[in-house]
Structure 1
Amino acid sequence: MKLLPDTHIFLWSLLEPTRLSKRVAAELENPLNELWLSPIVIWEVLILAERRRISLEPDAATWVRRVCQTVPFREAPLTHEVAIQSRAIDLVHQDPADRFLAATALVYDLTLVTADHRLLRSRRIAALANT
């Protein structure tokens, strides 16, 4: 399975793994699965750190770089097709980050890993719920 964690799942997997369901934790750790990462997740992590909603040491940018060097994620490029699909996708809300994550999952045929019920409602994207 090709997995795309959303921002919460990404952070929880690294900082608070007990917040992951057993199924999600097992799938993220399964070496047969491919882990993908959207630049939108990194962008949201940096915003959370700037707003002091999370603390990353020694600083957010260094922490992100270290994670990207050590965790075997494949980066999902933010392409024009992802941008087009972000506006076409059937989401009930307009959150740009969520729309880009859903569109990324759709364009690259990934399973979005999320606890966000708004994302889980979409019928067009494959999702793994953290429940």
Structure 2
Amino acid sequence: MSQSAAGWRQRVLDLGVREIPLSGDIAILATELEDFPRDAADRIIAATAMMHSATLITADPKILAWQGELARHNARE
């Protein structure tokens, strides 16, 4: 990356992207996602989207195929 992580983050925030902090409720939901892929980061991202009624944009075929209630969009379409 040609710039620092802090610089990249600030540029994204300046574009209007909203940062959502991790809460205890999100962390708990992430552990309770039945049959969801095991990657902890993916679980936290999915739980965050669910808690905030957001659509998760992903190209991960396992997440796209998951049968749970998660609004998602295939990033490759």
Same fold (TM over 0.5): yes
TM class by shorter chain equals: 0.7 to 0.9
Q: In structure 2, give the amino acid aligned to 1:80.
A: G
Aligned residues: 74
Q: For 1:118-129, list aligned pairs within 5 A.
A: 118-122=62-66, 123-129=68-74
Q: Does 1:130 align with 2:53?
A: no
Q: Which has the higher strand share?
A: 1
TM-score by length of 1: 0.51
Tell whether 2:8 aligns with 1:56: no
Unpaired runs of 5+ residues, structure 1, are: 1-54
Q: RMSD across aligned C-alpha pairs, in angstroms?
A: 1.4
Q: What's the counterpart of residue 54 of structure 2?
A: 110
CA separation in 2, counterparts of 1:83 and 1:63? 25
In structure 2, what is the Cα distance between the partners aligned to 1:99 and 1:86?
5
Report the TM-score when normalising by structure 2: 0.82
Q: Return 5+ residue gaps in structure 2 as ranges.
A: none
Higher RCO structure (Cα 8 Å, ≥6 apart): 1
Letter in structure 1 aligned against 2:2? L
